[in-house]
């Protein structure tokens, strides 16, 4: 009985490798290679300067790591185009030192996203994503802004992973 167990495990692994099983995003879905994806700079309808670049860079990085698509610059020759628009940014205090001073704030960013076919412009997927991230408030303005930026970057990475998962289901 104990001799059969390793053989069964070995045959199962061999079968999985032979049947073409791969984790999602590990290999191109089509035989001609990975589709190309352009991620132009997002539109920013908020007062948060530079947020569009943070979000676009996080998405480019996430898609480059997945290897499921090839990220290209310029949407003219891309198979797919992922466009985004920052709709709103809200800050709210979630923890307080005393009545007049908060110690932790939460930033909430709403982003509208559209995945389109590059040649026809047909919308394949449309969604609104919400990024929420907490950051520590510091009495020193510059340090406080730095922790806010770090919080935005953490949230952008999380949002990029969610968007990657949703886009991989469509393509």
Both tokens assigned to 44: 């920013």
pLDDT score recorded for residue 14 = 56
Instruction: Confirm whether 23 is domain-assigned.
Output: no
pLDDT score recorded for residue 87 = 94
Instruction: Confirm whether 21 is domain-assigned.
Output: no
Instruction: Confirm whether 112 is domain-assigned.
Output: yes
For the chain, how big is the Rg over CA atoms in Å?
21
Instruction: Confirm whether 56 is domain-assigned.
Output: yes
pLDDT score recorded for residue 150 = 92
C-alpha distances in angstroms, 14 versus 3, 11, 130?
A: 17, 5, 42
Alpha helices in 19-140 (DSSP H): 51-66
pLDDT score recorded for residue 81 = 93
Q: Decide if 153 contacts 107 (C-beta within 8 A).
A: no
Contacts of 35 (CB under 8 A, 6+ apart): 28, 69, 70, 79, 80, 171
Q: Which domain CATH number covers 75?
A: 3.30.160.150
Instruction: Confirm whether 136 is domain-assigned.
Output: yes
Q: Compute the distance between CA of residue 171 and CA of residue 159 in angstroms, rounded to an integer.
A: 19
pLDDT score recorded for residue 31 = 45
The packing angle between helices 51-66 and 141-170, to 10°, is 40
Q: Mean pLDDT per 10-residue run, the chain (171 residues)?
A: 64 60 50 82 90 92 91 84 93 89 92 92 93 91 89 93 91 77
Q: Which of 110, 130, 114 is nearest to 37 (CA)?
A: 114
* Total tally of structural domains belonging to the chain: 1
What domain range includes position 128? Answer: 34-170
pLDDT score recorded for residue 138 = 87
């Amino acid at each position: 009985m104990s001799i059969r167990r390793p053989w069964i495990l070995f045959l199962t692994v061999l079968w999985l490798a032979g049947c073409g099983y791969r984790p999602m995003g590990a290999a191109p879905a089509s035989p001609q290679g990975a589709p190309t994806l352009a991620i132009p700079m997002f539109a920013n309808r908020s007062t948060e300067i530079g947020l569009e670049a943070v979000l676009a860079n996080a998405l480019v990085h996430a898609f480059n790591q997945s290897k499921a698509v090839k990220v290209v610059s310029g949407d003219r020759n891309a198979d797919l185009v992922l466009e985004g628009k920052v709709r709103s940014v809200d800050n709210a205090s979630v923890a307080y030192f005393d009545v007049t001073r908060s110690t932790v704030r939460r930033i909430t960013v709403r982003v509208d996203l559209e995945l389109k076919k590059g040649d026809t412009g047909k919308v394949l997927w449309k969604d609104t994503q919400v990024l929420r991230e907490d950051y520590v408030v510091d009495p020193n303005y510059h340090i406080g802004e730095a922790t806010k930026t770090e919080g935005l970057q953490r949230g952008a990475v999380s949002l990029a992973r969610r968007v990657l998962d949703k886009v991989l289901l469509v393509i």
